């Protein structure tokens, strides 16, 4: 059924998506909801959004490897509510075999910027890290791997991009946890006003949150880290993941 719904969408190509200003400077809003609501969400978006298509595919496999300091500085910055913070990751697009090192920075005005460079590993991103983060490459090591499938929607009129992440699996060392009953949605816009996807979420009773996939993975696989400020969100996620059905 999901495949059939995606086939009814108008499509956009990678060039159109890459030309969009939302790649580098935007406002982000996050939502988490049970997978059994995904078809309804896609049907609600059908009229006013187009779906990314590459080589006849409309759903894509991602692998993100996150880097952090030994004491998990970037995780604790988010947990402690630090406004100016960053996350560092190596991202691979499985279908196209493209790889980038990316640095996402959130500032005290709730704006997110993303800088990236083509890279096969962190060793190819030394200049990027030095220029756009407070860290040195030697301070960083792999802290979490996240794999998932993604559907990307772009509004036909407004500057508004939606990502819907499915079948997320997090791994750290030998430990793994799957969130296959959850959808991790993110809306990316130039401003925080009149966002159609946010209106859809509100009408469906789905609330926005600020917990990143990285923090969710670390909090669940690294029990010794501070989690006090995430407890409500983590309990909500665990409850849905345990009881939702597709």
pLDDT at residue 245 greater than cutoff 60: no
Q: Residue 151's domain is classified under what CATH number?
A: 2.40.320.10
When mean pLDDT is compared across 17-26, 117-126, 142-151, 162-171, the lowest value belongs to 17-26
- Tens of pLDDT along 133-169? 999 999 999 999 999 999 999 999 988 999 999 999 9
Beta-bridge mates of residue 105: 86, 113
Beta-bridge mates of residue 203: none
Strand, coil or helix: 31: strand
Task: Categorize the per-residue pLDDT at 110 as very low, low, confident or very high, splitting at 50, 70 and 90.
Answer: confident
Residue 243 CA to chain centroid, in angstroms? 23
pLDDT at residue 23 greater than cutoff 70: no
- Tens of pLDDT along 28-40? 899 999 999 999 9
pLDDT for the residue numbered 89: 98
pLDDT for the residue numbered 99: 97
pLDDT for the residue numbered 66: 98
pLDDT for the residue numbered 22: 53
Listed as own residue / partner, the contacts of 91-94 with beta carbons closer than 8 Å and 24 or more positions apart are 91/62, 91/63, 91/64, 91/65, 91/116, 92/62, 92/63, 92/64, 93/60, 93/61, 93/62, 94/60, 94/61, 94/62, 94/63
For residue 178, the enclosing domain spans 2-243
Tokens of 144: 């979490």
- Quote the CA–CA distance of 149 and 194 in Å, as a whole number: 28
For the chain, what is the domain count? 1
- Tens of pLDDT along 83-101? 889 999 999 999 989 999 9
Tokens of 161: 């991009």
pLDDT for the residue numbered 246: 45
Beta-bridge mates of residue 90: 65, 101
Give the number of other CB atoms < 10 A from CB of residue 36: 12
pLDDT for the residue numbered 147: 98
Task: Categorize the per-residue pLDDT at 189 as very low, low, confident or very high, splitting at 50, 70 and 90.
Answer: confident
């Amino acid at each position: 059924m999901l495949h059939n719904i995606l086939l009814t969408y108008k499509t956009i190509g990678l060039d159109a998506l890459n030309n969009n200003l939302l790649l580098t400077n935007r406002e982000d809003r996050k939502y988490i909801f049970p997978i059994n609501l995904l078809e309804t969400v896609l049907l609600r978006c059908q009229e006013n959004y187009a779906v990314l298509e590459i080589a006849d595919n409309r759903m894509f496999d991602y692998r993100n490897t996150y880097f952090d300091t030994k004491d998990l500085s970037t995780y604790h910055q988010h947990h402690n509510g630090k406004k100016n913070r960053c996350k560092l990751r190596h991202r691979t697009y499985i279908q196209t075999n493209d790889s980038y090192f990316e640095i996402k920075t959130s500032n005290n005005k709730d704006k997110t910027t993303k800088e990236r460079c083509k890279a096969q590993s962190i060793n190819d991103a030394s200049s990027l890290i030095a220029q756009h983060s407070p860290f040195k490459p030697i301070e960083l090591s792999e802290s979490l791997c996240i794999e998932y499938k993604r559907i990307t929607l772009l509004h036909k009129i407004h500057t508004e991009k939606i990502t819907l992440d499915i079948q997320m699996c997090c791994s750290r060392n030998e430990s793994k946890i799957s969130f296959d009953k959850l959808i991790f949605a993110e809306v990316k816009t130039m401003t925080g006003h009149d966002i159609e996807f946010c209106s859809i979420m509100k009408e469906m009773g789905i609330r926005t949150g600020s917990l990143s996939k990285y923090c969710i993975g670390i909090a669940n696989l690294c029990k010794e880290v501070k989690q006090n400020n995430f407890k409500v969100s983590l309990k909500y996620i665990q409850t849905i993941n345990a009881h939702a059905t597709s």
